[in-house]
Amino acid sequence: MTFTTRFAPSPTGPLHLGHAFSALTAFDMAQAAGGSFHLRIDDLDQSRSRPVWEAQIYDDLHWLGLDWPTPVLRQSDRLSRYREALQILWNQGLLYPCSCSRADIRAAASAPQEGAPLHGPDGLIYPGTCRPNTPPTGPMPDTPLRLDMARALTRLDPPLNFIETGQGPEGETGTITPQDMIKTVGDVALARPGMGASYHLSVVCDDADQGITHVIRGQDLFTATQIHVLLQRLLGLPTPIYHHHRLIRDDTGRRLAKRDDARAIASYRAMGKTPHDIRHMIGL
Ligand code: GLU
């Protein structure tokens, strides 16, 4: 099996030093293994994705010295593929429609009898307001859909582990405790309003369809990986090897974000820095 990895930025702002670290780490590991590196455009959120940022991604990554096979896979072209995957889960009785807004979830999750609201990989853990007692039947509706986590877990034989060659933010490895996922992850959204699919669903389909053997990405996505492994098992898709790497932080220790224009690769380019300088700045 040839080592195959990918870098999957969202075209919603400029790439910064954290993206450079992730892309270069994946590219270097692929080169060292004699494997291949793919670029994928995570443009599922069409309300925030912009062609100008996509063009800047290609430009910045080429400037850094990376190359990749074309055509580049774009998530917005794959909505029917994601729908097929949702249909499989719907047929298994694992999805239910949910039209709760973020405000509804906040209100329900912080109701006094619920205790302190818990946060999971997607923010506040869904309190289960729309979860039916029995799986819905009939055709899958074209509405936002959630995974019934407790029901999904009953369909899988443990263990539900993965191979981690990096580590989580607290030094975690690839051990998943399925029963904890009901409390610490909850019923995640798999089809989102206006987006067809959620990140969790699209990423497992894309990684499988592109033959990705190694997912190399930041530790901020570590807690999402248990959801991805669960979905791979439910959908009969292979689980790649994961490598979660350290995050690049600003001087105050905060993780860099898209709004940190000062640390955008484009800003360093405009200042006359070289790709070598960028590698040096991020310790590569
Ligand atoms: N598009 C995601 C991001 O920009 C990365 C997804 C992934 O690597 O799995 O954070």
Nearest-atom number in ligand 1 for the CA of 42 is: 1
Q: What domains appear along the chain, each with residue ranges and CATH number?
A: 1-77+249-284 (3.40.50.620), 79-210+225-238 (3.40.50.620)
Question: 197, 276 in Cβ contact below 8 A?
Answer: no
Q: Is the pTM of this model over 0.85?
A: yes
The span from the CA of 201 to the CA of 17, in Å, is: 27
* Distance of CA 199 from the midpoint of ligand 1 (Å): 8
For the chain, the distance separating the N- and C-terminal CA atoms, rounded to the nearest angstrom, is 27
**pLDDT single digits (tens) 226-235:** 999 999 999 9
The pLDDT value recorded for residue 113 is: 59
Q: Is 8 in the pocket of ligand 1 (CB under 6 A)?
A: yes
Q: Is 78 in the pocket of ligand 1 (CB under 6 A)?
A: no
Q: Is 42 in the pocket of ligand 1 (CB under 6 A)?
A: yes
| Closest residue by CA, ligand 1 atom 5 | 8
Of the ranges 47-51, 175-179, 192-196, 206-210, which one carries the lowest mean pLDDT score? Answer: 192-196
| Closest residue by CA, ligand 1 atom 4 | 9
The span from the CA of 89 to the CA of 189, in Å, is: 13
Q: What is the mean pLDDT of residues 250-271?
A: 84
Question: 109, 124 in Cβ contact below 8 A?
Answer: yes
The pLDDT value recorded for residue 112 is: 60
149 strand-pairing partners? none
Average pLDDT in the chain: 94
**pLDDT single digits (tens) 11-28:** 999 999 999 999 999 999
Q: Is 241 in the pocket of ligand 1 (CB under 6 A)?
A: no
pLDDT at position 115 over 70: no
Q: Is 247 in the pocket of ligand 1 (CB under 6 A)?
A: no
